[in-house]
Structure 1
Amino acid sequence: MPGPLALGLAMSQGPGAGFGHVMLLAWFGLLILVLVAGAAFYLSRQLTRQALGHSLGVLRAQNQRWEQLLAKQADGRWHSDPQHRLLSWHVNGAEPLPATGQPCWERFGLLSLEGSADAEGLQALLKQQPAEIDCRVQALAGDGGNWDLLGLACWDEQGQFQGYQGVAKKLAVIDEQAMAAGAAVMLAQAQTQKQVSEQAQANLLQSQLQSQLQAQAFEAQEQASFSYTVSHDLRAPLRVVEGFARILKEDYGRLLDRIGNDHLDRVMGAASRMNSMIDSLLSLSQLSSQPLARQPVNLSQLADLVLDELQRSAPQRKVTVHIQPLMTTQGDPVLLRMVLENLLGNAWKYSSKCEQAEIRFEAQRDGPGPWIFRISDNGAGFDMRYADRLFGVFQRLHSASDFQGTGVGLASVRRIVRRHGGEVWAESEVGAGAKFYFTLPA
């Protein structure tokens, strides 16, 4: 077996077997080092070729772009260093300017639509180090004129930025005048467009306002027609029924037995309730058209007045009342008193069969939201399955024989609260009282 491997094996089989093993391992280590070095050299060579290929590609692209710039009808060339100091400025047919090392933004500024030079704008643009520069500049001193500046970024072998090389094209005076005229035209067009937009918006607002006024006028007319119909057309036959029932009672009541007189009493009572319902319906219809007179309202004080009137109407009742002090809001005091009269009146009415009635009026507020007002009692309550009917017109959850009423009060409460921008709802349990909540803006 030729080669180092055979020699190593022969030595391992001779008298000096230990020395042979050492030599064998040494030859194997040398062989591995040779293989690793060869692989590293190959990989390094491949990476070097790739890097050179990429660099050559970048150089070819830069040269191609530079040739494209030179192919343009340029009036001069320029060159800057990594700190954007102007190293050369050579205008065709003129002597080159000396390399003063002055920053570009101290010689030129970006040309604005108004024809002024923005040196800070040029400084910000150059410090971003874009791969290409394409901008219009104006000389800051002397009659240097305006220029169309084109430039390419330069890089060294280590990839460090080395400044810009580029060309410059002189902007003719006619271009400056055209640009100024174009800017003036654009400004005039923008002003005209703004005026047209403002006029169109004003016309739209006026049209919307006129539509709202017409809708309000139509609603007021419909309201007046409805009120006339309710006041006259419905009351007329009712007055006939009530009048003849009273005449019959007065003139022939002695000839009727107890059952006949009871029937007449029922007819007259129903007519009286119908009159009350018509009055309530008229009041409800007027709530939508009545203007709101917003002002600070002390709800605690209003509640005291309402409960004092209820107490005077039934002085024999013993009711525990708790009213949270200093509850204030913004709203119409007349309409908000109607809300409290209905809600506190219901609490007073539906707790009338309790031995120890209790009525509470409180408020709470969670965070920046609106105030939540709560009126609660320990009265009869109602079944929550019928809560959706609670605020409907002429909707009642208790019979008139148990608790009197027209069924319009809670509908009026909802309409008033919603006109103030709030909402009203209720929670209850049969035999455990009711809680009515309503919100009002702060």
Structure 2
Amino acid sequence: MLAEPPQARPLCVLVEQLHATLGRFSLALSLARDALAWLDAHGRIIWCNRAFDRLAGVDHTALLGEPVTELLVLERDGHPVTGELHPAVRILAEVDELLENYDATIGDRRAVLEVYGRRGRIEGQPAAVLVIQDVTERERARAELSTANTRLASANQELEAFSYSVSHDLRAPLRAINGFSQVLLEDYGTVLDATGKDYLQRVRKAAQNMGKLIDDLLRLSRVTRADLAWTTVDLSAAARESVRELAASTPERSVDVEIPDGLAACGDARLLGVALQNLLDNAWKFTSKTTNARIEVGVADENGERTFFVRDNGAGFDEAYADKMFGAFQRLHAADEFPGTGIGLAIVRRIIHRHGGRIWATGALDTGATLHFTLPTDGECRT
């Protein structure tokens, strides 16, 4: 059955439908959270909603026909905004549109109001509409964020100063300890007995370990502060380069390493290279006492999320302590069993987090470990 054309409907029905539509619009505007007001050419209120009533603190019937400049008392920098500076006057006389923040007193509290104004016409006469939103909480949050950013910048400056002190002031005494202990061994070695020589070797080893720890701390600091240069990173190539360096450093070892082609992600090439280097160095170290050592780098779909992994069949770990693996100076194995400073995985975690990814570990003692991590895809690379 064909619908009846509008022209055939009784005029009274169309009028009723029009009134119903206007009623719905009026109800929606009256219930809106933002304060709305229509002004005539002289800045008097033609219509306003309930939110404007509450803002002005005046009964609705008393608002109509009143100058909005007397009802909407605004301030800026502690001074009243009156006369030609009032946004209602400016929108009717100077500008077609404006969006500005003002201070105001609403009841017994201070507030920040965002005032939007636009010039228009009603029944052929100049008019304007004002939309006013209470943005006090937003501006308070913005101010708190600005304060937090300022404190963060100050903390970063202090961190840079500390890093400089570590890299220069602490290295000098370490060099002296290493140097003089070596001189003692070379020039007075014949005078020292076995116990004395052992003590000197321990001093040298402790100084060297301290030097490595300082290097790792500085690397951790640089990872935190470095700017990211986003690009598509060939993770397969980066992993292979790290394995070549590890194999060259321990030519006596034979490790079966599997790295497929086509592993790619979006991120900072240098930092992701550092992350892979640390992950592979970790796997290389913990397979050092494993017969038929094997390391695998790959990617898998885990619950619909593309997840990279570095897996080994080395010493493994107790999963009850998995969260501790990524903390600075945290060790799940004795230092004399597997040497290291305990910083490597902390560096990896910071790099992955800076890229918006996640990292976690699974494994078991004497079985091996898998380090899982997520990164933005190469198709999501930022410019």
TM-score category, normalised to shorter length: 0.5 to 0.7
2:293 to 343, 346, 357: 357
Shift of 1:278: 0.6
CA RMSD of aligned residues (A): 3.8
Runs (4+) of structure 1 exceeding 4 A deviation are 122-125, 183-192, 195-210
Question: What's the CA shift for 1:209?
Answer: 7.2
- Judge conservation of contact 1:303–1:340 (CA < 8 Å) in 2: yes
Structure 2 residue 166 is matched with structure 1 residue 230: yes
1:394 counterpart residue number: 329
Quick one: which of 172, 180, 186 aligns to 1:250? Answer: 186
When you count strand as a share of all residues, which structure comes out higher?
Answer: 2
1:422 aligns with 2:357: yes
Q: Judging changes above 3 Å, is the alpha-carbon distance between structure 1 residues 438 and 233 closer, same or farther for their aligned structure 2 residues?
A: same
- 8 A Cα contact 1:105 1:123, kept in partner: no
Aligned AA for 2:350? R
Q: Distance in 2 between matches of 1:124 and 1:394?
A: 69
| 8 Å CA contact retained: 1:371, 1:441 | no
Q: Which has the larger radius of gyration?
A: 1
User: What is residue 309 of structure 1 aligned with on the other side?
Assistant: 245
Structure 2 equivalent of residue 103 of structure 1: 10
Higher RCO structure (Cα 8 Å, ≥6 apart): 2
The aligned residue for residue 84 of structure 1 is: none
Matches within 5 A, 1:260-409: 260-366=196-302, 369-409=304-344
Shift in alpha-carbon separation, 1:254–1:425, aligned structure 2, 3 A: same
TM-score by length of 2: 0.63
Q: CA 1:358–1:198 in structure 2 vs 1: closer, same or farther (change >3 Å)?
A: same
Distance 1:123 1:351 in 2: 78
Deviation sequence 1:237-296 (CA, Å, 0-9, x none):
433433332222222111112222121111101101111101111111121111111111
**Residues 377-425 of structure 1, C-alpha deviations (whole Å, 9 max, x = no match):** 1111123333332112122222333222111101101111111111211
Counterpart amino acid of residue 154 in structure 2:
F
SS of the aligned residue for 1:254 comes to coil
- Give the superposition deviation at 1:206: 7.5
- The alignment partner of 1:220 has SS state of helix
Q: CA deviation at 1:207?
A: 4.8
Q: Secondary structure at the match of 2:362?
A: strand
Q: Structure 2 vs 1, CA of residues 299 and 388 (structure 1 numbering), >3 Å: closer, same or farther?
A: same
In structure 2, what residue type is equivalent to 1:298? Answer: D
Residue type of the partner of 1:371? R
Listed as ranges, the matches of 1:3-402 within 5 Å are: 103-105=10-12, 109=15, 121-122=18-19, 182=46, 193-195=115-117, 207=143, 210-211=146-147, 213-366=149-302, 369-402=304-337
Structure 1 residue 433 corresponds to structure 2 residue 372: no
- In the alignment, the residues of structure 2 paired with residue 198 and residue 306 of structure 1 have an alpha-carbon distance, to the nearest angstrom, of 56
Q: Could you tell me whether the CA contact under 8 Å between 1:227 and 1:282 is conserved in 2?
A: yes
- Structure with the bigger percentage of helix: 1
The percent of aligned pairs where both chains have the same amino acid is 41
The aligned length equals 282
Q: Structure 1 213/383 Cα, relative in aligned 2: closer, same or farther at 3 Å?
A: closer
CA 1:123 to 1:382, structure 2 compared with 1: closer, same or farther past 3 Å?
closer
Q: 1:322 to 1:103 in 2, by over 3 A?
A: same
Distance 1:411 1:102, change over 3 A: closer
